[in-house]
């Protein structure tokens, strides 16, 4: 066995890695799996914090047994009732019949939707601000509705300044040895995966995340234990992820850069995008320039890039007089993540007519963007006059990029 880790004094990580999963929520591609985190607090009263996915029952129960080391389990605290964190609650309730199930009213409503009311007599309902004393650890419950489900709550250990943060501050990727964020935070693709996780799953709920920050403002936090990814137990890592979340939740670009998102059936619009990108580089743009074909990339990667950078160029094309399906789906998903307050430009291949440019702007208009440069219109293939227009657009973007302050 030996699958458990003591991450903080008397707090054991009993989670599991899922390296066989291809898509998170059957939607977002995973290159390196995902971790389902769960923790056991050993104290005068022992508490299990959340659960894991259904495929790992045997390993998970063995992990809990090892952490308890022969002692009984008193509480099972559920911060989030999404299936990747709740599929073993019933097994745990049966294995430890003295344990009470700790949650709020909505927790139990969802529990009975996924299961039934078999353990109703063992419910321990808490309200926002209630406390549960385990001995040396004292859990104060902080409700965080719509971060990112209605029932979500967090626990703040008032004695040890530890925040059990549910899905907040999580990331994609399985744990590769290093369980502490300080060992991965500036290495590999950890930040890219944390950003993609937040933007695509929680991004829509920026106002709710901001409301949560107001609730925990002033609390001293010495550690953050999320339900996915590494734990934060040093000041640098905690400050780093809090700063990122503040930017993400307020829809503030992290850095200056240009994302060019295009649709192209036969390569002509792609050629226009390449000309624009090359001209931007030749004008002296040193910031990142990223090109994405909506038919080649999963939307989650493009959406994340659009949130990360200050400027975007959208290059829709017509399809059956309307908007190319892949571009329309992408733009709808982008807007659904709360995309707003960016500097955007357009180039459009309209061929024999259609409404693709008009529809694209209508989809994006809710984001209150700043429009940069004149729209470049291409009729089937790029001609010399369009090359000049692309150069003019590149110049306008470069000037706007230089004058933009973050």
pLDDT in tens, the chain (406 residues): 568 999 999 999 999 999 999 999 999 999 999 999 999 999 999 999 999 999 999 999 999 999 999 999 999 999 999 999 999 999 999 999 999 999 999 999 999 999 999 999 999 999 999 999 999 999 999 999 999 999 999 999 999 999 999 999 999 999 999 999 999 988 889 999 999 999 999 999 999 999 999 999 999 999 999 999 999 999 999 999 999 999 999 999 999 999 999 999 999 999 999 999 999 999 999 999 999 999 999 999 999 999 999 999 999 999 998 999 999 999 999 999 999 999 999 999 988 888 999 999 999 999 999 999 999 999 999 999 999 999 999 999 999 999 999 8
Q: Peptide bond before 69: cis, by omega within 30 degrees of 0?
A: no
Q: Which residues contact 263 (CB under 8 A, 6 or more apart)?
A: 269, 293, 294, 295, 315, 316, 317, 324, 326, 327
Which helix H or strand E contains 389, and what residues bound it? helix 384-403
Position 158 scores a pLDDT of 98
Residue 44 has phi, psi (to 5 degrees) of -60, -35
pLDDT computed for residue 1 by the predictor: 52
Confidence (pLDDT) at 2 = 63
- Alpha-carbon distance 32 to 175, whole Å? 9
Task: List the domains of the chain with CATH numbers.
Answer: 5-249 (3.60.15.10), 258-401 (3.40.50.360)
pTM here? 0.94
User: Residue 327 is inside which H or E element, if any?
Assistant: helix 325-336
């Amino acid at each position: 066995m030996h699958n458990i880790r003591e991450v903080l004094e008397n707090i054991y990580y009993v989670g599991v890695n899922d390296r066989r999963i291809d898509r998170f929520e059957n939607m977002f591609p995973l290159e390196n799996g995902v971790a389902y985190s769960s923790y056991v607090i050993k104290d005068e009263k022992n508490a299990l914090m959340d659960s894991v996915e259904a495929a790992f029952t045997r390993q998970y129960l063995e992990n809990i047994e090892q952490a308890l080391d022969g002692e009984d389990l008193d509480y099972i605290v559920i911060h989030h009732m999404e299936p990747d964190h709740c599929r073993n609650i019933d097994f745990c309730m049966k294995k430890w019949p003295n344990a009470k199930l700790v949650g709020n009213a909505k927790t139990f409503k969802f529990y009975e939707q996924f299961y039934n009311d078999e353990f109703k007599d063992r419910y321990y309902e808490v309200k926002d601000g209630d406390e549960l004393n385990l001995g040396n650890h004292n859990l104060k419950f902080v409700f965080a509705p719509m971060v990112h489900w209605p029932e979500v709550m967090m626990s703040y250990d008032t004695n040890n300044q530890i925040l059990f943060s549910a899905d907040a501050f999580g990331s994609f990727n399985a744990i590769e040895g290093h369980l502490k964020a300080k060992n991965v935070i500036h290495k590999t693709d950890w930040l890219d995966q944390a950003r993609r996780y937040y933007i695509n799953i929680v991004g829509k709920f920026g106002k709710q995340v901001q409301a949560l920050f107001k609730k925990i403002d002033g609390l001293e936090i010495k550690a953050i234990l999320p339900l996915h990814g590494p734990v934060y137990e040093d000041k640098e890592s905690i400050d780093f992820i809090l700063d990122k979340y503040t930017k993400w939740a307020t829809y503030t670009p992290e850095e200056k850069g240009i994302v060019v998102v295009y649709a192209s059936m036969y390569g002509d619009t792609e050629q226009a995008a390449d000309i624009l990108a090359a001209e931007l580089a030749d004008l002296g743009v040193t910031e990142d320039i990223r090109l994405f074909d909506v038919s080649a990339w999963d939307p989650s990667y493009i959406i994340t890039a659009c949130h990360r950078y200050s400027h975007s160029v959208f290059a829709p094309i017509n399809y059956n007089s309307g908007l190319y399906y892949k571009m329309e789906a992408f733009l709808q998903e982008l807007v659904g993540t709360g995309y707003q307050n960016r500097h955007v430009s357009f180039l459009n291949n309209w061929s024999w007519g259609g409404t693709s440019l008009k529809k694209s702007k209508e989809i994006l208009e809710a984001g209150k963007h700043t429009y940069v440069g004149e729209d470049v219109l291409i009729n089937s293939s790029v001609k010399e006059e369009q090359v000049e227009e692309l150069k003019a657009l590149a110049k306008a973007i470069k000037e706007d990029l230089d004058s933009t302050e973050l």
